[in-house]
Amino acid sequence: MRHDRGRQDVRNGSGAGIRREKRRKLRPAVAAALIAVALAGCAGAEGTPAPSAKPAGAGAETGGNAGQAAAQAKDSLILAVGSEPETGFDPVTGWGRYGSPLFQSTLLKRDDDLNIVNDLATGYEVSGDGLEWTVKLRGDAVFTDGVPVTAEDVAFTFEQTAKSGAAVDLTNLEAVEAPAVDVVVFRLHSPQSTFVSLLVSTGIVPKHAYGPSYAEQPIGSGPFQLVQWDKGQQLIVEANPNYYGRKPSFKRLTFLFLGEDAAFAAAKAGEADVAYIPSSFSRQPVAGMTLVDVKSVDNRGIQFPYKPAGGKTSGGDPIGNDVTSDPAIRKAVNAAIDRQALVDGVLDGYGSPAYSPSDGLPWWNPDTTVPDGDPAAARQLLEQGGWSDPDGDGILDKDGRRAEFTLLYPAGDVTRQSLALAAADMVREAGIEIRPDGKSWEEIEKRMHADATLFGWGSHDPLEMDHLFRGASGGVGYYNAGYYANKTVDAWMDKALAAPSETEALEFWKKAQWDGETGFSALGDAPWAWLVNLDHLYLVSDKLDVGKQRIQPHGHGWPITDNIADWTWKS
């Protein structure tokens, strides 16, 4: 649920791990692909496509199908689906929260319909006051070094995660205990229905083998084990023979760490069975590959400074904006922007209009969709709010102030830049001037409380809504940078957190968005103008079945690995 600031959200930590095989060099054809792309001057993830650059050493067969056939013969796959984890494979500091942990198991997991099912756990119970969660563990799970997984390992994992503070907010966890080898008890300071999401997303590490080298040599009880990590090049994993669950069909997976241009070239050459690609490559067919279009809540939207100008953060950065603090401005922007046109024009049709941070998920309120693409209606909202155009320059004024504001976006992010420019063009007809301005994340961090900012979010955890919209947390990091606050919204979210289960909390999360009178959606206070949800696009070998793909969260590429243990060759 963490905002990735334009980078792949995978991090590491520390620990001790399995024996590594002798390091091998990158496959010659793939290395050639990297060199060819580099020499072509590609700009990386947001760079100019170079689809015609065929890597040296590629097979002579059309589309490089010989490479794919060889992969089938040895029960292995080659994937180019995401950025390299910057610091390793430690769940304590964030690894695995946007896709399968690969090496580690979790207590619970979500199925293809996002229902919660057991993994290491055989079941759990929540006390009547919601403060105590008791989880029962299966007895046949072992780590890859042969040591059984026990409740002590689970307790240790959550204690270390709470101490690190890097991956997830566990401040509500009062204590975790292991009263029996197969029983874990979590005690919370206050009820939290979303605590179940932490049991879904936190991979379990071994207490006996966790140390400074764990992130590079992880031991786990998941479906795969790490064999080799050539930093900057590739990751090789093999099926875990001791895995208690369904055995993976593939014995070996090789993950190539390539930019989007090089990943596309590798797919064309038959050197990758799966490759994540941007929408700009989607219209170029690749022999032997199928384009798989996966829906997501990987959203982009404009967060407005909600307060009038005048405040300062503890670090001295400005807070508030006298234009975007006017609800007429925020509602007019929501009404003027044509979200479907953004999907068609900026995303090449691979996306969907966004109206919240959780469109299509069980806790989304579909009533929050608003009519859009109507600058005339937007202008009417402004005029009703006291804005007019006395000087006839096309931009409205109120109390001597023009309807204009800056919209920050991360420089180098072509998609966000295009969204910002298109949105500015759309709202101008309504009488609002938006000034897009690309900055580094360090600069954005200093200005995001006073200038509108184009952010990206999207999670399988409803707690993200609490972080983004709770008034008491205004200005904390990148969450609620606009200092939005509504006591009624806070009350609905309090009820959602205090509910006995995620299912029983759904009604309250939906009312926080819109209860008929107020809410954090565009129907209510409109502290955001959500724009689009990006589809995640993958080139997949025609011979490979990647199963049912669920709605994916924020994060590029890695989410497709969530069900990777179920992938098979087509019969």
Q: How far is CA 177 from the centre of its chain?
A: 31
φ, ψ (nearest 5 deg) of residue 267: -65, -40
**Residue positions counted in the chain:** 571
How far is CA 556 from each of CA 10, 66, 188, 197, rounded to the nearest angstrom? 10, 28, 33, 21
The model's confidence at residue 25, banded by pLDDT at 50, 70 and 90, is very low
pLDDT in tens, 91-120: 998 888 777 889 999 999 988 888 899 999
Highest averaged pLDDT of the listed ranges 155-169, 257-271, 503-517: 503-517
Q: 63: helix, coil or strand?
A: helix
Euclidean distance between CA atoms 363 and 460, whole angstroms: 10
539 vs 34, which has greater pLDDT? 539
Q: What's the angle, vertex CA 80, arms to CA 534 and CA 200, rounded to 5?
A: 65
Rounded average pLDDT over 263-275 = 95
Q: Is the pLDDT of residue 68 over 70?
A: no
Hey, what CATH topology would domain 28-288+542-569 get? Answer: D-Maltodextrin-Binding Protein; domain 2 (3.40.190)
Q: Tell me, what's the pLDDT at 30?
A: 41
- Mean of per-residue pLDDT scores for the chain: 86
Residue 504 to residues 365, 469, 499, 542, Cα–Cα distance (Å): 15, 20, 6, 42
What per-residue confidence (pLDDT) applies to 473?
66
CATH number of 296-533: 3.10.105.10
Is the pLDDT at 32 greater than 70? The verdict is: no
435 — phi, psi (to 5°)? -110, 95
pLDDT for 571 equals 78
pLDDT exceeds cutoff 80 at 537: yes
pLDDT of amino acid 474: 62
Share of the chain above pLDDT 90, in %: 73
CA 173 to CA 183: how far, in whole Å? 17
pLDDT, residue 11, reads 28
* DSSP conformation class of 208: G
On the question of pLDDT at 225 being above 60, the answer is yes
In contact, 205 and 101? CB cutoff 8 Å: no
Closest CA to 220 of 187, 198, 245, 254: 245
pLDDT digit string, tens, across residues 311-325: 999 899 999 999 999
Q: What is the pLDDT of residues 480-536, one digit of tens each?
A: 999 999 999 999 999 999 998 999 999 999 999 999 999 999 999 999 999 999 999
pLDDT computed for residue 451 by the predictor: 98
Residue 431 gets which letter from DSSP? T
For position 58, what pLDDT does the model report? Answer: 33
Which residues of the chain does CATH 3.40.190.10 include? 28-288+542-569
Which of 50-64, 80-94, 461-475 shows the lowest per-residue confidence on average (mean pLDDT)?
Answer: 50-64
- CA 521, 523, 529, 531: dihedral to nearest 10 degrees? 90
Cα distance between residue 132 and residue 187, in whole Å: 5
Q: Which residue has the tokens 């407005």?
A: 304
pLDDT at 360 over 70: yes
CB 310 within 8 A of CB 116: no
Give 49's pLDDT tier (boundaries 50, 70, 90). very low
Give the C-alpha distances (Å, rounded to integers) separating 15 from 230, 344, 565.
18, 46, 25
Domain span(s) for CATH 3.10.105.10 in the chain: 296-533
| 56-59 contacts, C-beta under 8 A, 24 or more apart | 56/29, 56/32, 57/28, 57/29, 57/32, 58/29, 58/32, 58/33, 58/268, 58/269, 58/270, 58/271, 59/29, 59/269, 59/270
Q: DSSP 3-state assignment of 188?
A: strand
Task: Identify the sign of the CA torsion 148, 151, 157, 160.
Answer: negative
When pLDDT is averaged across residues 367-386 and rounded to a whole number, the result is: 97
- Taking a C-beta distance cutoff of 8 angstroms, is the pair 294, 277 a contact? no
| 33: pLDDT strictly greater than 80 | no
Gap between the Cα atoms of 339 and 333, Å rounded: 11
